[in-house]
Chains A and B, each alone.
Chain A
Amino acid sequence: MRILLIEDDRETADFVARGLRERGDVVDHVATGRDGMFLATDADYDVLIVDRLLPGMDGLNMVKLLREADCQTPVLFLSALSGLNDRVKGLDAGGDDYLVKPFAFSELAARLRALVRRRPLAAQKDTLTVGDLVMDRLTRRVERAGQAIELQPREFRLLEYMMLHAGEVVTRTMLLEHVWEYHFDPKTSVVETHISRLRSKIDKPFGAERIKTVRGVGYSLET
């Protein structure tokens, strides 16, 4: 992946850039909104990581201008602002995802992958297929190896999200945000419990485990 990192805090920038480079990504780093704007419009990046508070040009305005200039590169905001309104403002400005500092590198990596691998077509497909797992999104029918599986509405949405991101790691917070639309951190094991329920329906009867736990990060639906 070619990634542009626009972050004025040196420590955070080093932490992010080092992690991404170790993974094999190409990272360009700039510290101001103006430089970021210049590079983002000039070169072809897969994804932009933008700090919300930047010297000179603020991250929000920078992304707004980028979108006005018809630059559609996915943007992930990094921010120390964790307020409910801050997140909405970030997404309204044209950001595609919003990650609050401090964050685990694995969380950032999972979110970047989800952003870059966004397949606009897959999101609109009526039928999703992952191995022997088939989901008809119109009739809300789920089958594995030709055998129908009864799912509760929430379990259906959970599986749907995982199938849309099959092969990728989805984190607990990503699931909370997209499946439940919870923008807070529940104290109880909401995600874990529902994953385990889903497993008991789609994995257990078939003997082969499709939903894998990625320790300390999240889950992944194997293709």
Chain B
Amino acid sequence: MKLNHFVTSATFRLTLLSTGIFTLGIILVLLVISQAGGWIMRFALESEIEDEITELRETYNEAGMTGLLNNLDRESAELGEDGITYRVADDDNGLIAGNLALETLQQGRSEFIPVGNDPDETHLVQTVQLGPDHWLAMAIDGEVMHDTLQLVEEGSLWLIAISVPLALLSGLSLARMVLARIQNIAETAETIQAGGLDRRVAIRGSSDEFDRLARSINAMLDSIEELTKDMENVTVGIAHDLRSPLSRLHNKLDLINQSDETGAATKSLVEEAKAELHGLLGTFDALLRIAQIEAGTRRAGFKRLNLSELLSEITETFEPVITAHGRALDRAITPGVAVNGDQALMTQMLANLLENAIEHTPPGTVVMVSLTDESGRARLTIADDGPGIPAEEREQVFKRFYRLDRSRQTKGSGLGLSLVRSIAKLHDITIETQDANPGLQIALAFARS
């Protein structure tokens, strides 16, 4: 990666951002700690002399100046150890006892720097007036406080010196990890763009956000691939299903052209040619209609339909046809089942399903149509006790131009069930092919309406 490229990369920016935030955080924490530490330290020192003064003032009140001096004399060693110095003085700051050199006497707390000391080594002083002509001042060495603060400062610098590079490093690796996974997705996308539609984004199995993203991208790719394959199938189907009748038509026209006689033979060839054309136009219309239905514009005209009545009418229409074909119809239609839909399309869907049951079963088959209301959802099934469809081919039958091997010779476009599926899809109907033991059952589960 070139430097220029690196600087503009998300990795660089993410790293910089995370390090910056981290460093700022550390500095803030250290500031708070040192500030609070100073305050606490100062408070401790001040309360130490405060306690001493309170004690000494009590001694003065009880035993007078003599008592106070005796007391101080007794404790001077101990006080010295604690770094405490004192000054007992008269009203004119004349020294009575003690070793604290204070130039003025003023009630309250203050800081001063003893002569000859470092400017850093402040002392904390508290001065009180004990009596009309007696003052007491006590000072404590602030060295501990300064030492501690200095330690904190030095420690902080070290901390920053160590943690900032660490933050940089961790930020960099974090950003790299995140971006590597994005890179993975980007590379997959590039491969797919170059034609490898079977490629998928790798999933790590950690079910994190990236896995979720990868999964949804993969799901999207799956449906795109399916669509593309469907397209290919349709193209192959069109090529096959339109080409074969077209070439038969061509042959028939050739035969007509070659024959000299104009008798019945020619006439029957013309009839056959017309039948081929009729079939071709049927296929063409079905394809157009599927495309039109899949465009979804018909949804605007949906109305409330009495499905029970519609199904009764259609089964009444087809019952004589079914009987004429040597099959039987049995029905169980729950009255009053209503759905939202397009009447013309719904009629065509039901007619297609019934015709399918007639065409792809042997004579003697019983076709069973039923409509039930399952807690507000209409369920329509069309079952037969014919040979059924092998389980592995059950979903395939809805594909355009798909035909079972045994149906290859029967007429029909191979689009009947595709049309059914596209109408079902438009109406949010779940359509399933099931084993009727024996035979085929097609179940339509309508959307709740």
Of B116-124, B315-323, B333-341, the one with at least 4 CB within 8 A of chain A: B315-323
B414 to chain A, nearest CB (A): 12
Of B25-33, B190-198, B343-351, B369-377, the one with at least 4 CB within 8 A of chain A: B343-351
Closest to A81 in B: B288
A123 to chain B, nearest CB (A): 23
Cα(A197)–Cα(B316), bound, Å = 13
Contact of A82 among B285, B297, B324 (CB under 8 A): B285
The prevalent SS among residues of B at the interface is: helix
Contact of B297 among A85, A153, A184, A193 (CB under 8 A): A85
Given A82-B285, A83-B288: A152 touches B321 (CB 8 Å cut-off) = no
**Does any Cβ of B come within 8 Å of A187's Cβ?**
yes
Interface membership of chain A positions 80-106, coded 1 if the CB is closer than 8 angstroms to chain B and 0 otherwise:
001111000000000000000010000
Cα(A196)–Cα(B347), bound, Å = 23
Given A190-B321, A194-B317: A185 touches B282 (CB 8 Å cut-off) = yes
**Does any Cβ of A come within 8 Å of B50's Cβ?**
no
**Does any Cβ of A come within 8 Å of B325's Cβ?**
yes
Contact call A152/B316, Cβ cutoff below 8 A? yes
Most buried by A among B313, B317, B345, B412: B317
B444 to chain A, nearest CB (A): 18
| Residues from chain A with Cβ under 8 Å of B348 in the complex | 182-184
Given A188-B359, A189-B324: A83 touches B292 (CB 8 Å cut-off) = yes
A89 to chain B, nearest CB (A): 12
CB < 8 Å A-B pair total: 59
| Residues from chain A with Cβ under 8 Å of B412 in the complex | 187
Contact call A190/B318, Cβ cutoff below 8 A? yes
Contact call A186/B320, Cβ cutoff below 8 A? no
Given A180-B317, A186-B351, A193-B320: A82 touches B288 (CB 8 Å cut-off) = yes
**Does any Cβ of A come within 8 Å of B63's Cβ?**
no
A-B contact pairs, 7 of them (CB 8 A): A83-B292, A84-B292, A84-B345, A184-B351, A185-B285, A187-B355, A187-B411
Known: A83-B288, A85-B292. 5 other contacts (CB 8 A): A84-B292, A84-B345, A186-B351, A187-B411, A189-B321
Closest 8 CB pairs of A and B: A193-B320, A193-B321, A184-B348, A193-B324, A188-B321, A187-B355, A188-B355, A83-B292
Residues in B lying within 8 Å of A, measured CB to CB: 277, 281-282, 285, 288-289, 292, 297-298, 313, 316-318, 320-321, 324-325, 344-345, 347-348, 351, 355, 358-359, 411-412, 416
